[in-house]
Chains A and B, each alone.
Chain A
Amino acid sequence: MNAGPGPRFRLKVLDAAIILAAAGAFAASAVAVYGGPAPSRAVISSERGEWTYPLGTDRVVSVDGPLGPTLVEIRDGAAFFIDSPCRNKTCLSSGHAEHAGDWIACLPNGVFLRVEGESGDDQLDATVR
């Protein structure tokens, strides 16, 4: 009977290939998402559309989802959820999104907040896509 390789087990060829492939995919996707220009706007999307707000202007935004309104606050260059009708409130404990590529999602209410880098329309007060 073989009870396994024991505490001194060694990675096998396929283990190493899988770990390297996963690490490579992580690095490539991180560069693609986080490697953009400096953060300047919050993009909030739900089933009803997508809205863009500059991070430099403090405000509270209400976004309707299937469960009800989710409240997002933009303050001091960061965006975060302050209220949500979802059950577990995971989105409220997600912290602040302040760097390009940061995101916060509320799966039950279908609301997604992400921070993007500079673009030509950043001088606008808010835009709808």
Chain B
Amino acid sequence: MTSSMPRSASEKRRLAAFLAALAFFLSAVEYMLPRPVPFMRVGLANLPILFAVELLPWGWYLALALVKVAGMSLLTGSLFSYVAVFSLAGTMASALVMRGLYALAGPKAISWVGLCVAGAVASNLTQALLARVIVFGESARYMIPAFLGLGLVSGLVLGVFAELFSARSAWLAGVRGRRDGQA
């Protein structure tokens, strides 16, 4: 993982649009995957947000997270239900934690694996907290072990995949290369 930001406004716009489309596509893929455990998601649609941590500035980054929530809610038919509030809260918590950790620690102190695990756990805990406040009350504490465990496992899987992808991706190398060429 390295620090890379596109310089021109048009490049930022194109990159944000591409990552948003990718998030939409991965949401559709994830929706089709069978789940061994209800509530379990690998979090494929979070991959564009993860890479955007180093590729997009804050404004575009948060816009990408919002588009991902809207896309996933459209696909699952939950856009106008309070289920979408859970998706929004979880995604924003994850996005803010990953971006905040990256900003504070930098790529030399943390890898995609740490960012992924922290983001997944933050997302799941936020949703469990929201479930306690909005829907299930005190009973929601029973969800916490499962949500923590699933967040840890899915974060590790996605983080390792991101590391392997990052090392081999010609696209990512190209984006970073354009940045380096312009710097």
User: Given the interface contacts A5-B167, A7-B167, A26-B148, does A14 sit within 8 Å of B101 by beta carbon?
Assistant: yes
> Separation in Å of the B89 CB from the closest CB of chain A?
13
Asked if A34 is an interface residue, CB under 8 A from chain B, the answer is yes
Beta-carbon contact of B117 and A22 below 8 Å: yes
B141-179 with Cβ < 8 A to chain A: 141-146, 148-149, 151-152, 155-156, 163-164, 166-167, 169, 172-173, 176-177
A65: nearest chain-B partner, CB-CB: B135
Asked if A124 is an interface residue, CB under 8 A from chain B, the answer is no
Q: Report the Cα distance A88→B38, complex, angstroms.
A: 11
Beta-carbon contact of B2 and A2 below 8 Å: yes
Inter-chain contact total with CB atoms closer than 8 Å: 125
What is the total number of residues of chain B having a CB less than 8 Å from a CB of chain A?
49
Beta-carbon contact of B139 and A114 below 8 Å: yes
Beta-carbon contact of A91 and B38 below 8 Å: yes
Q: Is the interface of A mostly helix, strand, loop or mixed?
A: mixed
Residues of A within 8 A of B136 (CB): 45, 105, 110, 112
Asked if A128 is an interface residue, CB under 8 A from chain B, the answer is no
Q: A30-B145, A87-B78 are in contact. List 12 more A-B contacts (CB 8 A).
A: A3-B169, A3-B172, A6-B167, A7-B167, A22-B152, A33-B142, A43-B139, A87-B77, A94-B38, A105-B39, A110-B136, A112-B135
Interface residues of A (CB under 8 A from B): 1-7, 9, 11-19, 22-23, 25-26, 29-30, 32-34, 43, 45, 50, 87-88, 90-91, 93-94, 101, 103, 105, 107-108, 110, 112, 114
Q: List 22 A-B contacts (CB under 8 A).
A: A1-B177, A3-B172, A5-B166, A5-B167, A6-B167, A7-B164, A9-B111, A11-B114, A12-B109, A14-B105, A22-B155, A26-B152, A29-B144, A45-B137, A50-B139, A87-B77, A93-B38, A103-B143, A105-B39, A105-B131, A105-B136, A107-B86
